[in-house]
Amino acid sequence: MKILSTEQLYRYYGKKDNIVKALNGVFIDVEEGEFVAIVGTSGSGKSTLLNLIGGIDKPTRGEVIVKGKSLYKMKKDQLTIFRRRHIGFIFQNYNLIPVLNVYENIIFPIELDGIRVDKDYVQMIIEILGLQEKQFQLPSQLSGGQQQRVAIARALATKPSLILADEPTGNLDSQTTQEVMMLLKNTSQKFHQTIIMITHNEQIAQMADRIIRIEDGRIVRGDYDVKQ
């Protein structure tokens, strides 16, 4: 079942002679439960694409459809609620709230939405990610790898249909990178969640189910199933 599609997606910045074509007619389809890596050089448009898929930025032209809903046909408040309930974000810089402990950071998006916290589900995620003994520590007391685990737990806690990961291992050493990638892959399989990850690291991308390559704002040849 298709969970995401983009149709004729364009994103231009600037005007006339100074125009930058960050995305220039992008079509992609992603099936439910897939782990997709989007790769490309710096400035290729991969971050712009992720921001549009996540409803963070608006396209110049085109549509992003998630779970059968066109994001940019929604009103601002509707989009905010939809994004909070159906799309989880994992950022390179973690974006944890420094004054909240690990557990509070994980459940913060749920409480923000006014929804009852499924404590058993949250504890299961915490155990899978090995954060049991860190629950009441502040982010400043954690290593980079532990902070990224918290960011992953926070993204999973809302039970989103789609998780968007922006260079999730960019600040980690090689051993922690492998651990975080295995955690992402395992949690994706366990909870049957769809993950779209952008990375410039070809080796990391090989751990996904499928790789989509983008250059100069266009999807180029090289979109292939890693399992083949």
Distance CA(166)–CA(201), nearest Å, equals 12
Query: Residue 197: which CATH number?
Result: 3.40.50.300
Which amino acid is located at 112 in the chain?
Answer: L
Q: How confident is the model at residue 120 (pLDDT cuts 50, 70, 90)?
A: very high
pLDDT in tens, 124-143: 989 888 899 999 999 999 99
Torsion angle, alpha carbons of 28, 88, 58, 23, to 10: -40
Lowest mean pLDDT among 58-62, 212-216, 218-222: 218-222
Of 81, 68, 54, 74, nearest to 165 (Cα)? 54
Evaluate whether residue 20 is within a structural domain: no
Give Cβ neighbours of residue 93 (< 8 Å, ≥ 6 apart): 171
pLDDT confidence of residue 177: 85
Name the DSSP class of 139: G
Distance CA(4)–CA(31), nearest Å, equals 7
Count how many Cα atoms sit within 13 Å of the Cα of residue 120 in the half-sphere of its side chain: 0
Provide the whole-model pTM. Answer: 0.88
Distance CA(131)–CA(157), nearest Å, equals 14
Q: What is the mean pLDDT of the chain?
A: 90
Q: Domain residues for 217?
A: 33-58+75-225
Evaluate whether residue 205 is within a structural domain: yes
Q: How confident is the model at residue 213 (pLDDT cuts 50, 70, 90)?
A: very high
Which amino acid is located at 25 in the chain?
Answer: G
Evaluate whether residue 27 is within a structural domain: no
Which amino acid is located at 198 in the chain?
Answer: I
Placement of tokens 């983008």 in the chain? 214
Q: How confident is the model at residue 228 (pLDDT cuts 50, 70, 90)?
A: very low
- The two structure tokens encoding residue 107: 């459940």
Can you list the pairs that 60-64 forms with residues at least 24 positions away whose Cβ atoms lie under 8 Å?
Answer: 60/10, 60/11, 60/12, 61/8, 61/9, 61/10, 62/6, 62/7, 62/8, 62/9, 62/10, 62/25, 62/26, 63/6, 63/7, 63/8, 63/9, 64/4, 64/5, 64/6, 64/9
Evaluate whether residue 19 is within a structural domain: no
Tell me: pLDDT of 49 over 80.
yes
Evaluate whether residue 15 is within a structural domain: no
Evaluate whether residue 95 is within a structural domain: yes
Domain count, the chain: 1
Evaluate whether residue 133 is within a structural domain: yes
Q: Are 6 and 63 in contact (CB under 8 A)?
A: yes
Tell me: pLDDT of 221 over 70.
no
pLDDT in tens, 179-209: 888 888 887 888 888 999 999 888 899 999 9
Tell me: pLDDT of 6 over 70.
yes
Evaluate whether residue 7 is within a structural domain: no
Placement of tokens 């992603």 in the chain? 30
